[in-house]
């Protein structure tokens, strides 16, 4: 194929890229916005000898960017999308037998490579805008590198970005060649306007109106989310004449609405685009020469402790701010107005945090199990996934029946993984298919994963009804996807029962089944946490719910999507979930353990009846729960136990393992190890014995090392006088407070830990007042003792103050009378 590529800056480095890929398998390309890397590099690679008619896969972080890139490349070829260049995404597919460049979203590529590990017919994989560091991109690159090293040594991998930590990526790719395109950006006048106490949308609106009045050209304004865009659009509705159009641009819009937003303004008119970070990279909005940046973005943050992903509004990184400003200088000199003080730019993070560090990893773990990997360290992740989040993901997948005890996929897990859905929703669909409700569950699942379908009502029954009746290409594509998923599940005989979203969702969110407690709109979930719905919502009056989505931190969580449920639904569809058992529980008011027989669903108590006073391990565990609630201060530690804890803590800080951490946080997290086994027959805080606490603390030290405790951290120091003085370990270093006369004749500084750790000496006067602290007793005798002696002789004349204390006899007494 002979094609004259347009004179964009990246064209100058294409020969360098070609030469690098002739010699090696990987390249890192750094090119600024507007350099043409997204469109020119894939077209250039088509004619490379190693491509041999194979496909080029280009990964884009967003659907809008994927469609735009495919459309631009097809235009350069004089073709339609779907011929040489096509795209593939979740709800849209424009691919044909002729297609050699496939532009795909990152999640689609991960499934492509998982289903075909050899990437049959693929010559190269290009990761565009890699600096966004989505979870799918990181995982896709890790898989591609694994395939390249084990199965396809001819596979080329190119990582591209406008702002990238190229050194780290090059190292990950085996010290790959780094090619840099300087790009061609027109001058950008960066101006700062601190918004002070103004709301984000008010500050953006003010900046837009001023810039529109004083400057020419279209405006691109970055706001954190859809809500702020909607409010800003409302404020701008009547500000301009017919020659200026205000258009939103965010992920929930239809394809037609998104395309309209990036289309150039007709000649003689201007456009104001209100966008989220979706407009930051990969797409060009022609005619824009003014960028207004709120400096904010909305990022998903997963809390492993609650299992909730919430959206947080945070400051953009410096890299993102530069990307945004660069949009103003694509075709002519431009202006970037930043709504923050100029000095704050240096304090911004260099890059946006990788999603892998703050995401739910259950889907990743499921895909790795399908790949045959249980330990993420076996794959080349640029940032390894956090262990705490992995632990929660393994726990969830085990509860869903997707993983066995060894971390391998179960037959049910394979069904869950085969569905292009988050694990919870896939598990719901698998369970529903067994009851003949597979299509209904898939329809509900697809609706929940495609923002905006069916509206945004909290009541999912209402939203599902709207979705089933919704018109438009996106809604129809989503319903078709659900039907295909249901067909793949091979659902049982179709049930004639009416579709009840709550009965379906309980299989996805058993931990979020909730019972009203505390009044209208207040609920407690099976996981023990509370959640609230506005009292004006219909669901606020429900007795039971299952919650599909919520936001907020632990203790203040607000329901975003839920469906009504009944106890009869749970008993019919999840009979094993409701448990009847005897429990020992801590009563905070009386500080005692009480026994009861309960019928419960997780932390939700349906019925309870008192039982006789509890005993045994269950009582001790309930008592431990009480200690967690009240804190360690409630325990009757003796002076000896406090010193024991201080000694162990000192050894942990100074030596480390095997000496355990005995901080409050650590001890509370290990109550089952050191507290529970020693509370035989104890059922109240008042009955806890100090001796049992000391025994428990000692048990944390390996038995064969307990004898070393007295040698490394003795309780007392024996002075030359024969007197024993306690050593204090509650500070940063061990302290010995002692009258100076008792150390006379000592030529070596007192130390513990086999003589390796010197004591901090607090030398005191006969009146028990500190004289001096020292870590070098011989140096003190030879140095500042002279001044101390001169001062102390006058104050305490009845006590000895020899000129040479290193040679004097130690004493605890005053001088004999007459001397």
pLDDT in tens, 435-481: 888 999 999 999 998 888 888 899 999 999 999 999 888 889 899 99
Examine residue 470 and state whether it is found in any structural domain, yes or no: yes
C-alpha 750/C-alpha 736 separation (Å) is 9
Q: Are strands 101-105 and 85-89 parallel, antiparallel or unpaired?
A: parallel
Closest CA to 380 of 54, 178, 115, 159: 159
pLDDT score of 44 more than 70 = yes
Of 549, 577, 605, the residue that ends a domain is 577
At 178, the pLDDT band (50, 70, 90 cuts) reads very high
pLDDT of residue 253: 79
pLDDT score of 197 more than 90 = no
Mind listing the pLDDT tens digit for each residue in 765-777? 888 888 888 998 9
Mind listing the pLDDT tens digit for each residue in 706-735? 888 888 889 899 889 888 999 999 888 899
Of 687, 712, 737, the residue that ends a domain is 712
Give the Cβ contact number of residue 719 at 10 Å. Answer: 20
Question: Are 282 and 430 members of one domain?
Answer: no
Mind listing the pLDDT tens digit for each residue in 514-557? 999 988 999 999 988 899 999 999 999 999 999 999 887 666 68
pLDDT of residue 302: 79
Burial 583-607 (b: 16+ CB within 10 A, else e): bbbbeeeebbbbbbebebbbebbee
Question: Are 722 and 704 members of one domain?
Answer: no
Examine residue 439 and state whether it is found in any structural domain, yes or no: yes
Question: Are 163 and 14 members of one domain?
Answer: yes
229 contact partners, CB below 8 Å, separation of at least 6:
223, 248, 249, 250, 274, 275, 276
Mean pLDDT along residues 799-819: 80
Question: Are 19 and 133 members of one domain?
Answer: yes
pLDDT of residue 657: 86
Question: For 203, phi and psi rounded to 5 degrees?
Answer: -65, -40
Question: Are 466 and 506 members of one domain?
Answer: yes
pLDDT score of 752 more than 80 = yes
Mind listing the pLDDT tens digit for each residue in 285-321? 778 899 999 999 988 887 776 667 777 888 999 888 9
CATH number for the domain spanning 88: value is 3.40.50.300
Look over the chain and give the mean of its residue pLDDT values, rounded to a whole number: 89
The structural domain count of the chain equals: 5
pLDDT of residue 351: 83
pLDDT score of 260 more than 90 = no
Mind listing the pLDDT tens digit for each residue in 389-440? 999 999 999 989 999 988 899 999 999 999 989 999 999 999 999 888 899 9
Mean pLDDT along residues 269-289: 83
Examine residue 311 and state whether it is found in any structural domain, yes or no: yes
Mean pLDDT along residues 654-672: 90
Q: Which of helix, strand or coil describes residue 468?
A: helix
559: containing domain? 419-577
Which region holds residue 380: left if phi is over 0, alpha if psi is between -120 and 50, else beta? beta
Question: Are 138 and 210 members of one domain?
Answer: no
Examine residue 591 and state whether it is found in any structural domain, yes or no: no
Question: For 312, phi and psi rounded to 5 degrees?
Answer: -115, 135
pLDDT of residue 798: 87
Question: Are 129 and 266 members of one domain?
Answer: no
C-alpha 95/C-alpha 81 separation (Å) is 8
Examine residue 373 and state whether it is found in any structural domain, yes or no: no
Question: Are 87 and 228 members of one domain?
Answer: no
Torsion of CA 449, 476, 472, 245, to 10 degrees: 40
Residue 449 in contact with residue 421, Cβ under 8 Å?
Answer: yes
pLDDT of residue 493: 67
Long-range contacts of 72-77 (CB under 8 A, 24+ apart): 72/38, 72/39, 73/39, 73/42, 73/43, 73/101, 73/103, 76/3, 76/5, 76/6, 76/39, 76/43, 77/3, 77/43
Closest CA to 279 of 49, 472, 64, 509: 64
Closest CA to 150 of 403, 364, 418, 372: 372
Question: Are 688 and 731 members of one domain?
Answer: no
Question: Are 674 and 748 members of one domain?
Answer: no
Question: Are 51 and 161 members of one domain?
Answer: yes
Examine residue 723 and state whether it is found in any structural domain, yes or no: yes
Of 159, 180, 201, the residue that ends a domain is 180
Examine residue 614 and state whether it is found in any structural domain, yes or no: no
Question: For 788, phi and psi rounded to 5 degrees?
Answer: -60, -45
Mind listing the pLDDT tens digit for each residue in 356-394? 998 899 999 999 999 998 888 899 999 999 998 999 999
Mind listing the pLDDT tens digit for each residue in 568-615? 999 888 888 899 988 888 989 999 999 999 999 988 999 989 988 787
Residue 206 in contact with residue 221, Cβ under 8 Å?
Answer: no
Examine residue 391 and state whether it is found in any structural domain, yes or no: no
155 contact partners, CB below 8 Å, separation of at least 6:
25, 119, 122, 123, 124, 125, 144, 147, 148
Question: Are 146 and 218 members of one domain?
Answer: no
For the chain, the farthest-separated pair of C-alpha atoms sits apart, in whole angstroms, at 118
């Amino acid at each position: 194929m002979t094609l004259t590529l347009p004179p964009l800056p990246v064209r100058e480095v294409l020969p360098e890229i070609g030469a690098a890929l002739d010699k090696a398998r990987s390249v890192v390309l750094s090119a600024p916005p507007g350099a043409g890397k997204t469109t020119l590099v894939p077209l250039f690679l088509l004619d490379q000898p190693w491509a041999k008619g194979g496909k080029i896969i280009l990964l884009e972080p967003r659907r809008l960017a994927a469609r735009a890139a495919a459309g631009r490349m097809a235009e350069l070829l004089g073709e339609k999308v779907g011929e040489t260049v096509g795209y593939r995404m979740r709800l849209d597919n424009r691919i044909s037998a002729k297609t050699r460049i496939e532009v795909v979203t990152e999640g689609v590529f991960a499934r492509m490579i998982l289903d075909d590990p050899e990437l049959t017919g693929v010559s190269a994989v290009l990761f565009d805008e890699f600096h966004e560091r989505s979870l799918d991109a990181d995982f896709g690159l890790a898989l591609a590198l694994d395939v390249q090293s084990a199965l396809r040594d001819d596979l080329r991998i190119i990582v591209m970005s406008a702002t990238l930590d190229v050194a780290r990526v090059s190292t990950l790719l085996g010290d790959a060649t780094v090619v840099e395109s300087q790009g061609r950006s027109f001058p950008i006048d960066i101006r700062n306007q601190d918004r002070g106490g103004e709301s984000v949308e008010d500050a953006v609106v003010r900046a837009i109106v001023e810039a529109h009045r004083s400057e020419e050209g279209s405006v691109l304004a970055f706001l954190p989310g859809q809500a702020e865009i909607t409010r800003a659009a409302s404020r701008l509705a009547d500000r301009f004449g017919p020659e200026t159009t205000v258009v939103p641009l965010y992920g929930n819009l239809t394809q037609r609405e998104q395309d309209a937003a990036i289309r150039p303004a007709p000649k003689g008119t201007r456009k104001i685009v209100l966008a989220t970070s979706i407009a930051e990279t990969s797409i060009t909005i022609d005619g824009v020469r003014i960028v207004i940046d709120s400096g904010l973005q909305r990022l998903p943050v997963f809390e492993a402790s609650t299992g909730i992903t919430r959206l947080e509004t945070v400051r953009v990184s410096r890299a993102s701010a530069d990307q945004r400003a660069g949009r103003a200088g694509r075709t002519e000199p431009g202006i970037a107005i930043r709504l923050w003080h100029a000095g704050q730019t240096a304090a911004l993070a260099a890059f946006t945090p990788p999603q892998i560090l703050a995401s739910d990893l259950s889907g990743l773990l499921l895909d790795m199990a399908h790949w045959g990997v249980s330990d993420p360290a076996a794959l080349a992740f640029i940032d390894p996934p956090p262990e705490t989040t992995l632990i929660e993901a393994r726990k969830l997948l085990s509860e869903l029946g997707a993983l066995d005890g060894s971390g391998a996929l179960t037959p049910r897990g394979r069904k869950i993984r085969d569905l292009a859905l988050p694990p919870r929703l896939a598990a719901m669909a698998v369970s529903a298919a067994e009851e003949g409700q597979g299509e209904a569950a898939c329809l509900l699942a697809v609706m929940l994963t495609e923002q905006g379908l069916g509206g945004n009502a909290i009541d999912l029954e209402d939203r599902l009804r709207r979705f089933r009746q919704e018109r438009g290409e996106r809604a129809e594509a989503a319903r078709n996807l659900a039907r295909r998923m249901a067909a793949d599940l091979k659902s049982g005989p179709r049930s004639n029962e009416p579709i009840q979203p709550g009965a379906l969702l309980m299989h996805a969110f058993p931990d979020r089944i909730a019972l009203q407690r505390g009044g209208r709109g207040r609920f407690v979930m099976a996981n023990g946490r509370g959640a609230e719905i506005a009292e004006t919502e219909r669901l606020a009056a429900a007795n039971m719910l299952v919650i599909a989505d919520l936001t907020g931190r632990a203790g203040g969580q607000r329901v975003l999507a839920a469906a009504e449920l009944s106890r009869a639904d749970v008993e019919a569809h999840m009979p094993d979930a409701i448990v009847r058992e005897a429990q020992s529980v801590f009563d905070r008011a009386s500080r005692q353990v009480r026994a009861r027989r309960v019928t419960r669903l997780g932390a939700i108590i349906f019925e309870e009846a008192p039982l006789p006073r509890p005993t045994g391990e269950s009582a001790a565990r309930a008592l431990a729960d009480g200690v967690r609630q009240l804190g360690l201060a409630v325990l009757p530690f003796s002076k000896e136990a406090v010193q024991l804890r201080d000694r162990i803590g000192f050894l942990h800080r100074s030596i480390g393992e095997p000496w355990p951490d005995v901080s409050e946080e650590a001890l509370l997290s290990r109550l089952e190890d050191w507290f529970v086994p020693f509370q035989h027959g104890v059922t109240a805080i008042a009955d806890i014995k100090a001796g049992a606490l000391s025994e428990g603390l000692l048990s944390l030290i390996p038995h064969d090392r307990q004898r070393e405790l007295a040698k490394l951290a003795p309780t007392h120091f024996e002075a030359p006088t024969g007197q024993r003085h306690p050593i204090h370990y509650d500070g940063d270093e061990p302290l010995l407070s002692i009258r100076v006369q008792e150390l006379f004749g000592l030529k070596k500084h007192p130390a513990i830990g086999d003589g390796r750790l010197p004591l901090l000496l607090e030398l005191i006067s006969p009146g028990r007042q500190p004289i001096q602290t020292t870590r070098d007793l011989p140096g003190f005798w030879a140095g500042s003792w002279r001044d101390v002696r001169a001062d102390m002789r006058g104050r305490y004349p009845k006590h000895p103050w020899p000129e040479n204390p290193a040679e004097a006899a130690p004493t605890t007494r005053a001088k004999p009378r007459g001397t």
